Copies of this chain bind each other. A is one copy, B any other.
């Protein structure tokens, strides 16, 4: 349920208000980590207070501060002062559940992305907010587990190009992680859809429909949160203002391709689930038809026969004075004749149903 509405301040609140930390007051304190690197140097530590990092900021290195968990307004305010973040952007960090978007304020690139995560049977979507400046990057992730560990390892080990490039390449590396997390999520959903389709064709039941409905809903949610990511990447690539080097834009273009592939899969899944609902409805109709045919065959054969035996259950025969009073009862072959007639009727009925292909 929490998926469908973003957090918001009461209408009329002054823009840029950070306010109190969002309701879940029992939230854990967020973990803040710092990585500071150049091609040759590398430093990594967990920050207890933000003051510890003032030193690194002055140096000519790339400083990456990552805040994991729900950020408190105080921490955010301190970060805002330290890196001169825009108040409207900070409000979007606090009011999680935002639509992915990008904005460019005073030489800083601000990006919000959606990070989908399979959590048991449901899919959660976390908000990732990133500020990228000339020589720093501040990132926020409002979930419990940090998805960026592999990037940290690459930084530590000096693998690939990552230590040789600036904060724009680091931003790419983080966006790439967030976007690519869509693939395992979609793979899981795809497997569920395949299973459901097989269930639908072989032994459809009431639960199958509910399951389809649940998957359709999940796809709807994912679509809403992932669709704008394509636009975000497109803006970063095309916008003249964004200060990202041409050699790095190739990497962003690769990211963009991934968002397109993800949306493509989502749309295909949506079409597949729609087809499945059709198939389900058809198979329900089919089964109803089959049921009704059984009833009709049985009923139309036996109802006339029951009528006939009813006739000879009438008590007119007791009237011995009238020759019109059920003389059949006294015929020598009366009883077998009735059976003959009834067998003939049943056979005719069956023949007709056979010809109509009813069974």
Contacts and interface: CB of A to CB of B under 8 A. Distances in A.
A280 B275 CA distance: 14
A177 B287 contact: no
A302 B307 contact: yes
A164 interface: no
Contact of A314 (B179, B194, B313): B313
A293 to B, nearest CB: 6
Interface in A138-158: 147-151, 154
A120 interface: no
A99 B307 contact: no
Interface stretch (A10-18, A46-54, A123-131): A10-18
A313 B307 CA distance: 12
A235 to B, nearest CB: 12
A131 B289 CA distance: 57
Chain A contact patch, size range: 35 or more
Contacts of A251: 15, 88
A351 interface: no
Interface string A94-111: 000011010101000000
A277 B288 contact: no
Nearest to A330: B319
Contact of A281 (B176, B282, B292, B298): B282
**Total copies of the chain:** 5
A28 to B, nearest CB: 24
Contacts of A186: 5
A13 to B, nearest CB: 7
Given A101-B257, A288-B288, A147 B190 contact: no
Interface string A311-350: 1111111110110111001111111101000000000000
A311 B10 CA distance: 74
A294 interface: yes
A239 interface: no
Nearest to A178: B11
A280 B125 CA distance: 28
B286 A284 contact: yes
- Most B CB contacts (10 A, CB to CB) among A221, A265, A278, A357 go to A278
Given A217-B272, A264-B224, A11 B180 contact: yes
A14 B306 contact: no
Nearest to A292: B291
Contact of A289 (B88, B99, B268, B291): B291
A303 interface: yes
Given A284-B282, A292-B296, A14 B314 contact: no
30 contacts: A5-B186, A12-B151, A12-B177, A15-B251, A88-B251, A201-B210, A209-B286, A216-B275, A217-B272, A220-B268, A220-B275, A224-B267, A280-B282, A284-B285, A284-B286, A291-B293, A292-B292, A294-B300, A298-B300, A298-B304, A299-B300, A302-B304, A302-B307, A303-B303, A306-B310, A313-B313, A313-B315, A315-B326, A322-B332, A324-B335
Closest 8 CB pairs of A and B: A12-B150, A11-B180, A309-B310, A312-B314, A14-B160, A313-B313, A295-B296, A298-B300
